[in-house]
Amino acid sequence: MNEDLTTAAILLGIIHSGIRLATPYLYAAIGETFSQRSGVLNLGVDGIMLMGAFFGFYTVFQTHNPWLGLLAAGLVGAVMALILCVVSITYQAEQGISGIGLYMFGLGMSSLLFKTMLGTVEGVKGFSELRFCFGDSFCLADVPVLGDIFFSHSLVTYGAFALVPLAWWILNRTTWGLKIRAVGQNPEAADSLGVSVNRVRYASVTVGGVLAGLAGASLSISLLNIYQENMTNGMGFIAVALVYFGSWKPGGVLLGALLFSTVNALQLWVQVLNLNIPSDVAVMLPYLLTILALALPFRRALQPAALTKPFARGEN
Amino acid sequence: MPFAIHYLLGIGDMANSSNLLPSGLPRIESLEMRGIVKRFPGVLASDHVNFDVKAGEIHALLGENGAGKSTLMKILYGLYQPDEGEVFLNGERIVIHSPTDSIKYGIGMIHQHFMLVDNMTVAENVALGLPSSREPRLDLDVVSARIRKLAEKYGLQVNPNSVISKLAVGERQRVEIVKALYRGAALLVLDEPTAVLTPQEVDDLFVIFRQMAADGHALIFISHKLGEILALTDRVTVLRDGRAMGTRPTAGATKQDLASMMVGRDVLLERHRPPAERGPVRLKLDNVNAINEDGVPILKHVSFDVHSGEIVGVAGVSGNGQRPLARGIAGLHEVTNGRIYLENDDITDLSPAQMFKIGLSYIPEERMHDGVVKDFSVAENLILQDYVRRPFSNGIFLAFKYIAEHAKKLITAFRVKTPSRDTPAKNLSGGNIQKLILARELARQPRILIAAQPTRGVDIGATEYIHNQLLKQRAEGLATLLISEDLDEVKALSDRIVVLFGGEVMGIVNSDEVTIEELGLMMAGEKRAELA
């Protein structure tokens, strides 16, 4: 009887953490979806996340206003993305390499800023978890099971999930989304109809950068409320993989992010509970899953045809 | 006042008035390009060209590859900026900075390579780049309704909800036309619109073009197919080396006149093919099958033979199995089932190197990609298969002196125009690269020649030369398999014609006993002929 209760509690814990942990993946991967659907592979997501995490954290540390932190993270994400735009859209540099460059820059810069401006690991009061209380006594968060799963997260987490249908709607139901899909699939055709391919790509990559910045901030001012060096630990790269995993569709990305974060949560609980599995194996589990998912060949057919290909009108 | 898309809101209501098009838009009474100059590094692509077109007229722009047809039209469509010259619309000077401008002025372009996003629907392709009536939301239902109206008015069969990748080539062509009309095109530039169509599809398309001209549209028809120009157009302007050689009414002109204007000297368009002196069977395909990378069958039970002293042509619309057939015989594409014989030897599973050694020569379709090594010199390209053998090498070192002599001999014999034998192949023109490949393949004294699209994109002069070489080799007993999408070429050179459709042989017919129309029906899969 007691054991059953423990098992149920652990399961709930895993689901709860899974939803929480999906937050940064969702922001980053939905952002990367916009970028890739327009034909630009941004491998620098992790670097942007680190910068977003630092600036978000530092702003809250100074102003004690988490909304300002979110704003700062989004802005720095946009600036980072614009660097990539100039290099790989305007100057048509190889996208994979420039993305790695952006990542290295973000990693180094955020560490430098951390050392000079903070020095030690500090904590802030970021976005707190909502409880959906009505009156003094009744809170939705206290409802058994459902409360834990649905009604005890921060606004930042709800925002991440709200992003999924929003992104789907933009991509499939708006004129802007039609342009994004067209320049990612056949930029010459879009150009011949008077669509400015590079302008659409700048916009899409910048949106991706803002969301990557928010992804970083979701770690430092919502989930963990601390900042430490390289705190993303490669999450940005996983986000890129999730876009492939999700076949460049917001719904697919959601599925991938949830699967990944749940396995990740499982892995954390395996460590916490001291089960008889080496923790290294547990840590490997989500990454192994990613590799297996990416190896499925049919996904490649769904890839935007012009992904990683710079566009030039070709006056030759 | 510039044209704008909201004119379309009045489709039908305004069409009665005489100076309006069926789409409800005003006509372009005249468009004139004056003194257009466009320079590219090392090339004068457009040299003071004058060109004009009027409402109700189909004006042909004729010229060989590289004569400057596309350059001129890309300037008109705003894709290139001219270095000198002016454009006048209804007598007023206009400047076209981008496709957005040209669309605004009522100029539409049907590109040679379809400009369609193939994973989107027809309606999405049409709506792309246009403002919606419900910004920022798409209004695909409104777009679809307008497409249906337009399609009905012009007799174009188009389903707005079809995904492009599921459409046949002829249907995609219609989508391109609808796309231009939807944007209010009063003047349409048609850049080689018939390249991938069957003869029947070409006829259908011409009916549409004539109707559009009768309705008051101005049409510019770019082509190098003399027969189509004579059949369709009212006037023709000939371009050569970036210069306009003159404009004349099409009526009264002959193919010979136009060809001479285009090339600058008299050319022989007719090919003299004496009766075949057929020898024994050289190449035999027995029930050959192949699949593509997705596992879909692309050759199905293909059987035929080629005799010594005979040219067998393969006709078909692009993508009906010609490529895997050529590559399969040459050992570059795996044959899943069936056998291929060279005389009595089974060559099905030989490697390309072994094929070359036993006397197979292959002129590949992609000459720049598969035919030459672009950065190698002419002399090096001439020994690509035989460099390991005597007399070109002794097994370790190349015999440079012999290689140079070999190159000199072939350059003269095959009239390859090149500054020197050490010039990189990429600096040669398409026609000369093709002569270079032909020289290499024929100098090896093959037993069988596979020639895939040997004159595609090649100028008339070089085409004439290549055709004559093929006929000369035929007289000397070579067995040739000629794969071409140019029906006139297939019919002129071949003794027998194999028609492919969907990877299947629709029939093998005697070239002199079949009409182009019959071939067209077989190419469309509508008719099977008794195997000759």
Distance CA B69, CA B65 (A): 8
A286 with A267: CB under 8 angstroms? yes
Average pLDDT value over all residues in chain B: 88
pLDDT, tens digit, for every residue of B140-188?
A: 999 999 999 988 888 888 999 999 988 888 889 899 999 999 988 999 9
Grade residue B111 by pLDDT with cuts at 50, 70 and 90: confident
User: How many contacts, defined by CB atoms under 8 Å, are there between A and B?
Assistant: 73
Domain spans, chain A? 8-124+152-300
Q: State the pLDDT at residue B234.
A: 96
Share of chain B above pLDDT 90, in %: 55
B378 pLDDT more than 90: yes
pLDDT, tens digit, for every residue of A218-246?
A: 999 999 999 999 999 899 999 999 998 89
Grade residue B56 by pLDDT with cuts at 50, 70 and 90: very high
Average pLDDT value over all residues in chain A: 90
Q: State the pLDDT at residue B160.
A: 95
Tell me whether residues A194 and B99 touch, CB distance under 8 A: yes
Tell me whether residues B128 and A173 touch, CB distance under 8 A: no
Find the helix packing angle between A235-245 and A197-218, rounded to 10°. 130
Q: State the pLDDT at residue B163.
A: 94
Residues of B in contact with A194 (CB under 8 A): 98-100, 103, 129
Residues of A in contact with B79 (CB under 8 A): 192, 313, 315
B294 pLDDT more than 60: yes
Grade residue A45 by pLDDT with cuts at 50, 70 and 90: very high
Tell me whether residues B117 and A179 touch, CB distance under 8 A: no
Sign of the CA dihedral with B95 first, then B98, B101, and B103 last: positive
CA distance B286 to chain A (A): 34
Q: State the pLDDT at residue A83.
A: 97
Q: State the pLDDT at residue B286.
A: 95
Strands of B55-118, DSSP E: 58-63, 84-89, 92-94, 107-110
Highest mean pLDDT among A181-185, B22-26, B444-448: A181-185
Residue among B40, B127, B130 whose CB faces A316 most closely:
B40
- Fold designation for B268-359+446-532: Rossmann fold (3.40.50)
Grade residue B287 by pLDDT with cuts at 50, 70 and 90: very high
Q: Span A170-178, mean pLDDT?
A: 96
- Fold designation for A8-124+152-300: ABC transporter involved in vitamin B12 uptake, BtuC (1.10.3470)
* Chain A interface, best mutation among B119, B122, B130, B175, by max A CB count within 10 A: B119
pLDDT, tens digit, for every residue of B414-431?
A: 888 888 889 898 888 778
Q: State the pLDDT at residue B6.
A: 41
Q: State the pLDDT at residue B124.
A: 97
B10 pLDDT more than 60: no
Q: State the pLDDT at residue B18.
A: 61
Q: State the pLDDT at residue B251.
A: 92
Q: Report the CATH superfamily, name and number, of domain B3-263.
A: P-loop containing nucleotide triphosphate hydrolases (3.40.50.300)
pLDDT, tens digit, for every residue of B74-103?
A: 999 998 999 999 999 999 999 999 888 998
Grade residue A298 by pLDDT with cuts at 50, 70 and 90: low
- The model's pTM is 0.81
Residue among A179, A313, A315 whose CB faces B128 most closely:
A179
Tell me whether residues A175 and B137 touch, CB distance under 8 A: yes
Q: State the pLDDT at residue A136.
A: 79
The string of DSSP letters for B323-388 reads HHHHHHHTTSS---EEEEEETTEE-TT--HHHHHHTTEEEE-S-IIIII--TTSBHHHHTTTTTTT
For chain B, where do the domains classified as CATH 3.40.50.300 start and end?
A: 3-263, 268-359+446-532
